[in-house]
Amino acid sequence: MTASWRKSSAVAALLVAACCAVPAAAATTTAAVAASVNKPLVISRVADLSFGTILLSAATNFTASVSIGQNGVFTCPATLTCTGATSPATYNVQGSKQSPVQINVPPSMTLTGPYGTITMTTSAPSSLVLANSGFPGTDFNIGGTLTLTNATPDGLYTGTFAVTADYQ
């Protein structure tokens, strides 16, 4: 009976240990949660870029640049005659107040005229911070530079360029 008792005691001890075992302590940590919710960006054209009318020099050999800065300052060298209204292109972007917005404009574009093309280099802000939320939005300007020579054919030169805005 001793052997049987030992077996019974051992089985009982195993059952008690399995049933009443203390689990290991669980590890716990926390995680922060954040969500930035923004209004959708809306971009619209307010005004087109205009160089006005440019009269080429009578000189037989020249190269000259005409430019409109983002600030609206128009530069016409003395070798050319420039008349008419000039203005940078103006755009408006609306979204969430105090949000930084990246502005993307191609560095140059081609203007097409009746007898040739002219390349315009653009001048635009790379980013801005929205001053308010939604309407009235924040305006920004895009300027440009044209380089003309005595070989530039006369005529009306036109073109378009894409402007995109994206939250940074």
Question: What does the alpha-carbon distance between residue 138 and residue 114 come to, in Å, rounded to a whole number?
Answer: 36
- The pLDDT confidence band at residue 25, using thresholds 50, 70 and 90, is confident
**What DSSP line would sit under 24-80, residue for residue?**
PPPP-----------PPPEEEEEE--B--EEEPPS-SS-EEEEEE-TT--EE--TTS
List, for residues 90-133, the tens digit of each pLDDT value.
999 999 999 999 999 999 999 999 999 999 999 999 999 999 99
Q: Please say if the pLDDT value at position 12 is more than 80.
A: no
Per-residue model confidence (pLDDT) at position 24: 76
Would you say the C-alpha torsion 143, 146, 122, 135 has a positive or negative sign? positive
Would you say the C-alpha torsion 75, 161, 136, 101 has a positive or negative sign? negative
φ/ψ of residue 144, rounded to 5: -165, 165
Per-residue model confidence (pLDDT) at position 14: 54
Residues near 140 by beta carbon (within 8 Å), at least 6 away in sequence: 70, 90, 91, 93, 103, 124, 125, 128
Per-residue model confidence (pLDDT) at position 21: 60
User: Of 99, 106, 62, 68, which Cα lies nearest the Cα of 80?
Assistant: 62
* Average pLDDT across the chain, whole number: 90
pTM: 0.78
